[in-house]
Structure 1
Amino acid sequence: MSLAPWLDACPIVAILRGIRPEEAEAVGAALLAEGLNVIEVPLNSPRPFESIRRLAAAFGDRALIGAGTVTTEEEIAGVVRAGGRLMVTPHADPALVLAARARGLIACPGFLSPAEAFALLGAGADALKLFPAEMASPSVVRALLAVLPKGTAILPVGGMSAQTIPAWKAAGAAGFGVGSALYRPGDSAEAVAARARALREAVGFA
Structure 2
Amino acid sequence: MSRPIIAILRGLNPDEALPVGHTLLEAGIDRIEVPLNSPDPLESIRVLASKIGDRALIGAGTVLTPDQVDAIADVGGRLIVSPNCDVPVIQRSVALGLQSWPGVFTPTEAFAALQAGATGLKLFPGSLAGLAGLAALRPVLPPGAQVFAVGGAGPENFGAWIEASADGFGIGSALYKPGMSVGDIANRARQIVAAYDEAVG
Residue 150 (structure 1) aligns with: 143
Residue 185 (structure 1) aligns with: 178
Moved more, 162-171 or 34-43: 162-171
- Aligned-residue Cα RMSD (Å) equals 1.2
Match of 2:17 among 4, 24, 44: 24
Q: Does 1:171 align with 2:167?
A: no
Alpha-carbon contact 2:65-2:88 (below 8 Å) kept: no
Match of 2:86 among 78, 88, 93: 93
Instruction: Name the aligned partner's letter for residue 9 of structure 1.
Output: S
Give aligned pairs, total: 199
Alpha-carbon contact 1:11-1:203 (below 8 Å) kept: no
CA shift at 1:161, angstroms? 2.2
Distance, in Å, in 1 between the alignment partners of 2:159 and 2:178 is 26
Distance, in Å, in 1 between the alignment partners of 2:161 and 2:11 is 26
Residue 4 (structure 1) aligns with: none
Residue 10 (structure 1) aligns with: 3
Distance, in Å, in 2 between the alignment partners of 1:100 and 1:145 is 25
With normalisation by structure 1, the TM-score equals 0.94
Matches within 5 A, 1:49-88: 49-88=42-81
With normalisation by structure 2, the TM-score equals 0.96
Q: Does 1:108 align with 2:101?
A: yes
- Moved segments of 4+, more than 6 Å: none
Alpha-carbon contact 1:169-1:203 (below 8 Å) kept: no
Residue 153 (structure 2) aligns with: 160
Match of 1:118 among 111, 120, 141: 111
- In the alignment, structure 2 segments of 5+ residues that lack a partner are none
- In the alignment, structure 1 segments of 5+ residues that lack a partner are 1-7
Instruction: Name the aligned partner's letter for residue 140 of structure 1.
Output: G
Aligned identity (percent) is 49
Once the two structures are superposed, residues 27-76 of structure 1 have per-residue CA deviations (whole angstroms, 9 ceiling, x without a partner) of 00000001100000000000000000000011000100000000011110
